[in-house]
Amino acid sequence: MTKKIAVLAGDGIGPEIMAEAIKVLNVLNGQMNLGLEFENGLIGGAAYDVHGSPFPQPTIDLVKKADAILLGAVGGKKWESLDISVRPEKGLLGLRSVLRLFSNLRPAILYPQLANASSLKPELVSGLDLMIVRELTGGIYFGQPRGIRILESGEKQGFNTLVYSESEIRRIGHSAFKIAQKRNKKLCSVDKANVLECTELWREVMIEVGKEYPDVELSHMYVDNAAMQLIRAPKQFDVMVTTNMFGDILSDAAAMLTGSIGMLPSASLDANGKGMYEPIHGSAPDIAGKGIANPLATILSAAMMLRYTFNLSVAADRIENAVNSALNANVRTADIFSEGMIKVSTSQMGDAVVSALQNGAI
Ligand code: IPM
Ligand code: MG
């Protein structure tokens, strides 16, 4: 059976890192006869330049008929002054929303080879393996009403709405508890229930959902404390579940614990396992076109795609192991480079992963 993958490279370093992920998938496809088929589409600023929209109709049609989507990154200086409704980021938000990709999995894993690249002491982060489950299609990102209005006094006022219905909280709750069951059976729900009614409800519903998962130990933490604990003692966490905006912020913090945001993949899933896979770093316009970006987060996103949408866990393991072998071979892109290592370009890093696959190092 063929597996249709929509490839949306996007902006900035997107095309460079995507080329490496496709290179790796093509090799694996040939080796294992996976039946992967790729079709390219435009998103973000690249789509705006051609169609005047960051998420144009041809891309909507493409992602709807695809089984999975692999995305690079969106955004850049060039489009920053556009109206917010057509900025590149809207393309990403539109994609999440149209496909109802409510469950965003953001693992933060520290590769032992990179322990020195973390901003924390090695003993605080060695062995770190945590998963942030971020609600992705609700909360303040999508709540209505929103906008900038002019008050009677003539002063401008910006406003957004934080809103979650019980059903939205319940479904992300189930997602997170199921993931916790497959890991260490510990789930920490992050909210601001001491101040925000919306997240008071979040906590109530999480407790209710938790009754269906008696094997999982549920705890709660306010978001300010969670941010502090992530930096103080990150290994106390296994799975964290939180709202759209808190998840946005905490996942960047968690990423840095691992040494480089350039290493971290993500999956955004709908209720049926269809998913969009992307590195959690952005389009990094400052280094775009230089061939120095780290492609590993995108390559690892491709592995997540094989695992979560296509249930090809052996193939996913092979990619993850090949990344590990590449790191063992001491090749490093600039973001994870340290003394004594071999500095390589984006495509050389892709080649290192490919050669690990070809050497059957796994
Ligand atoms: C992320 C990004 C996006 C978000 C932006 C680019 C819209 O920061 O995926 O974390 O805020 O969700
Ligand atoms: Mg973010």
Among 129, 252, 317, 351, the active-site one is 252
Mutate which of 93, 132, 298 to test ligand 1's pocket (most atoms within 8 Å of Cβ)? Answer: 93
Same domain, 96 and 114: no
* Residue 233 burial by Cβ neighbours in a 10 Å radius (0-12, 13-18, 19+): exposed
Tell me which H or E stretch contains 34.
none
252 is catalytic: yes
**Secondary structure, 3-state, 256-312:** HHCCCHHHCEEEEECCCCCEEEEECCCCCHHHCCCCCCCCHHHHHHHHHHHHHCCCC
Q: Quick one: pLDDT at residue 260?
A: 80
Instruction: Give residue-wise pLDDT tens across range 268-327.
Output: 999 998 999 999 889 999 999 999 999 999 999 999 999 999 999 999 999 999 999 999
Same domain, 80 and 190: no
Same domain, 214 and 133: yes
Q: 266, 290, 310 — which closes off a domain?
A: 266
Using an 8 Å Cβ cutoff, are 143 and 163 in contact? yes
Same domain, 89 and 128: no
SS3 of residue 212 by DSSP: coil
Q: Quick one: pLDDT at residue 142?
A: 96
Instruction: Please name which ligand lies nearest the alpha carbon of 106.
Output: 1
Say how many Å lie between the CA of residue 321 and the centre of ligand 1.
Answer: 28
Q: Is it true that the peptide bond before 58 is cis, omega within 30 degrees of 0?
A: no
Say how many Å lie between the CA of residue 211 and the centre of ligand 2.
Answer: 31
Tell me which H or E stretch contains 38.
strand 36-41
Mutate which of 104, 248, 250 to test ligand 1's pocket (most atoms within 8 Å of Cβ)? Answer: 248
Same domain, 37 and 97: yes
Same domain, 68 and 148: no
Q: Domain holding 139: CATH number? A: 3.40.718.10
The span from the CA of 362 to the CA of 353, in Å, is: 11
Nearest CA to 295 out of 254, 260, 252, 328 is that of 260
Same domain, 341 and 254: no
Q: Which domain holds residue 255?
A: 103-266
Tokens for 201? 């409800």
Same domain, 249 and 296: no
Q: Which atom of ligand 1 is nearest to the CA of 104?
A: 9
Same domain, 257 and 327: no
The span from the CA of 231 to the CA of 124, in Å, is: 9
Return the DSSP state at 119: S
Using an 8 Å Cβ cutoff, are 68 and 309 in contact? yes
Using an 8 Å Cβ cutoff, are 172 and 199 in contact? no
Say how many Å lie between the CA of residue 267 and the centre of ligand 1.
Answer: 13
Same domain, 107 and 242: yes
Work out how many domains the chain is built from and give that number.
Answer: 2
Q: At what angle do helices 14-32 and 346-358 cross, to 10 degrees?
A: 10
248 is catalytic: yes
Residues with CB under 6 A from ligand 1: 89, 92-93, 248
Please enumerate in sequence order all residues whose Cβ is within 8 A of that of 205, keeping only pairs 6 or more positions apart, or say none: 166, 169, 170, 173
Using an 8 Å Cβ cutoff, are 134 and 244 in contact? yes
Q: 246, 266, 286 — which closes off a domain?
A: 266
Q: Quick one: pLDDT at residue 324?
A: 94
Same domain, 198 and 261: yes
Q: Which atom of ligand 1 is nearest to the CA of 92?
A: 7
213 is catalytic: no
Say how many Å lie between the CA of residue 352 and the centre of ligand 2.
Answer: 28
Among 3, 67, 191, 192, the active-site one is 192
224 is catalytic: yes
192 is catalytic: yes
Same domain, 113 and 260: yes
Using an 8 Å Cβ cutoff, are 130 and 240 in contact? yes
Say how many Å lie between the CA of residue 87 and the centre of ligand 1.
Answer: 13
- Stretches where the chain sits below pLDDT 70 are 361-362
Neighbours of 349 (CB within 10 A): 26
Q: Is the pTM of this model over 0.85?
A: yes
Q: 237, 266, 295 — which closes off a domain?
A: 266
Put residue 4 in one of left, alpha, beta given phi > 0 → left and psi -120 to 50 → alpha: beta
Nearest CA to 130 out of 209, 175, 186 is that of 186
Q: Quick one: pLDDT at residue 256?
A: 86
The span from the CA of 324 to the CA of 305, in Å, is: 18
Instruction: Please name which ligand lies nearest the alpha carbon of 134.
Output: 1
Which residue has a Cα nearest atom 9 of ligand 1? 280
The span from the CA of 330 to the CA of 101, in Å, is: 36
